[in-house]
Amino acid sequence: MEEPPVMGAGPEPQPVREEPPSPAFSLLGRMVNVFGVPGQVFEDLLRCRPHPGHWLLPALLGFWVGFVGTWWVWGMPAMRQFWMTRYRAAVEARVAAGSLDADRAGERVTRMERMLASPFFRVAVALDGGLQGGLRFLVWAGVGWGLGRWVWRRRVSWVRCCEVSGLASLIGLLGDVVTLLMMVPGDGLTDSVVGGPGMPGPGIQRWGWVQGFVQSLLGFWHLAVLGVGLSKLLGVDWIRVLWWLIGLRLLGSLLTLLATGWV
């Protein structure tokens, strides 16, 4: 009995390529929804390819808000009067201590008044405020990268840290906008700016306490959202990341106060 002919082996089946899941949010969608559902936003972000818009657009918004806000604040007569009063009090204290001549003290005060009234000074401080607002995300990106590298021994991408920090910086940007809106009635505080030699008046003091409270709440919100993103990126529990971020934030604030002489 003849055996049936053996059929030639067909082509080997090609492995099926698994396409990456389609993103749940667009770029602008992530920028909006990071305020409400940061966990879903960061999970969707890490499933997709890196995109410079996740840090570039928040940086541009931060620069614009920082520049416009600083320009407007230093245009307020109350703010210029407040800082001029503090500078004059510091100069008078040096004269009383005998470390500065009275004539030179008068020249310094006059020079400071001219500088505060100069449009070039206003442009310079506005540019400084814009750069601080636009590049602030790099600081927290470096913090996240350092925590992943040296605390939890994770190999983490710098680009991913910038993306997470850029999206989270939108919370801090919201805090800047709220602070500026709180300063809208600040022109009415002109008469109550000075409460004593180099001391703010009661109006400025009350506004400062309220502003500090609101900034603290928004600052904690920013750290909480940043902690969510870093926990997704590093594979670490969110609470552990948040404690590290809060501790580093408090340490940075303490060092700032020590450097500026407030403590």
Q: 150-183 pLDDT, tens per residue?
A: 999 999 999 999 999 999 999 999 988 988 887 7
Cα–Cα distance, 235 to 216 (Å, whole number): 27
The pTM of the full predicted model, rounded to 2 decimals, is 0.81
Going 109 to 206 to 182 to 56, the CA torsion angle's sign is: positive
Between helices 53-73 and 119-146, what is the axis angle to 10°? Answer: 140
| Least confident range of 139-148, 186-195, 215-224, 243-252 | 186-195
User: What is the model's pLDDT at position 6?
Assistant: 52
Residue 30 lies in a domain: no
Q: Which has the higher per-residue pLDDT, 4 or 52? A: 52
| E strand map for the chain | 194-196, 199-200
| Residue that has been written with the tokens 């940086």 in this structure | 59
- Is residue 43 one of the residues assigned to a domain? yes
Residue 204 falls inside a structural domain = yes
Task: Report residue 193 as tokens.
Answer: 């700016």
What pLDDT is attached to residue 85? 86
Q: Which amino acid is at 213?
A: F
Could you tell me where the DSSP H helices lie in 34-101? Answer: 38-47, 53-73, 77-97
Burial class (CB in 10 A: 0-12, 13-18, 19+), 91: buried
The whole-number pLDDT of residue 199 equals 52
Q: Is residue 106 part of a domain?
A: yes
Give the model's pLDDT for residue 129. Answer: 93
Count of Cβ atoms closer than 10 Å to residue 160 Cβ: 23
3 assigned to some structural domain: no
175 CB neighbour count, 10 Å cutoff: 18
Domain assignment of residue 4, yes or no:
no
How far is CA 93 from each of CA 45, 100, 201, 246, rounded to the nearest angstrom? 55, 9, 19, 37
The overall average pLDDT reported for the chain is: 84
The range of the structural domain enclosing residue 233 comes to 38-257
Q: Which of 155, 115, 165 has its CA nearest to residue 135?
A: 165
Report which DSSP code applies to 147: I
Number of domains within the chain: 1
22 within a domain of the structure (yes/no):
no
Residue 61 — left, alpha, or beta (φ > 0 → left; ψ -120 to 50 → alpha)? alpha
Residue 253 has pLDDT above 90, yes or no: no
User: Residue 199: what are its φ and ψ, rounded to 5°?
Assistant: -115, 145
Q: E strand or H helix at 108, and its extent?
A: helix 102-117
pLDDT of residue 19: 60
Give pLDDT tens digits for 138-149: 999 999 999 999
Specify if 78 maps to a domain. yes
